[in-house]
């Protein structure tokens, strides 16, 4: 299997996640799409840790740290979402426009 197949798979998943972030209105789904984009990045890390120019295990270590940061991001994002929901009574993204200039 050439490394290009894995990279294309990761690119497709990343693009679907990006499309979800741009078009979905429910904030929980937007958070899930961000998780999908981060997972796509992890596929790249692991693919290069096997097929890269200087292939070694560091790619997997980096991917582990990335997964840990992803989990922290999900927890904090959900906490912000709950706080916003308590204040505004909705999770629709286009209702959160108080920062709009």
Regarding 88 and contact with other proteins (CB under 8 A), the answer is no
Regarding 4 and contact with other proteins (CB under 8 A), the answer is yes
Q: How far is the CB of 44 from other proteins (least distance, A)?
A: 11
Site for other proteins in 47-86 (CB under 8 A): 47, 49-58, 60-61, 63-65, 67-76, 78-83, 85-86
**Using DSSP, how many helices (H) and how many strands (E) does the chain show?**
3, 0
Name the helix (H) or strand (E) containing 100: none
List the Cα angle 94/100/101 in 5-degree steps. 160
Regarding 93 and contact with other proteins (CB under 8 A), the answer is no
Regarding 31 and contact with other proteins (CB under 8 A), the answer is yes
Q: How far is the CB of 98 from other proteins (least distance, A)?
A: 17
How far apart, in whole angstroms, are the C-alpha atoms of residue 36 and residue 51?
A: 23
Which phi and psi angles does 26 have, rounded to 5°?
A: -80, 130
């Amino acid at each position: 299997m050439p490394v290009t197949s894995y990279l294309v798979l990761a690119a497709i998943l990343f693009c679907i996640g990006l499309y979800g972030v741009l078009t979905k209105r429910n904030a929980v789904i937007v958070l899930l799409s961000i998780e999908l984009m981060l997972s796509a990045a992890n596929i790249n890390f692991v693919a290069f840790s096997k097929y890269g120019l200087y292939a070694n295990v560091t790619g997997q270590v980096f991917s582990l740290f990335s997964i840990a940061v992803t989990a922290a991001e999900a927890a904090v994002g959900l906490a912000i979402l709950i706080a916003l929901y308590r204040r505004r009574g909705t999770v629709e993204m286009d209702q959160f426009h108080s920062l709009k200039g």
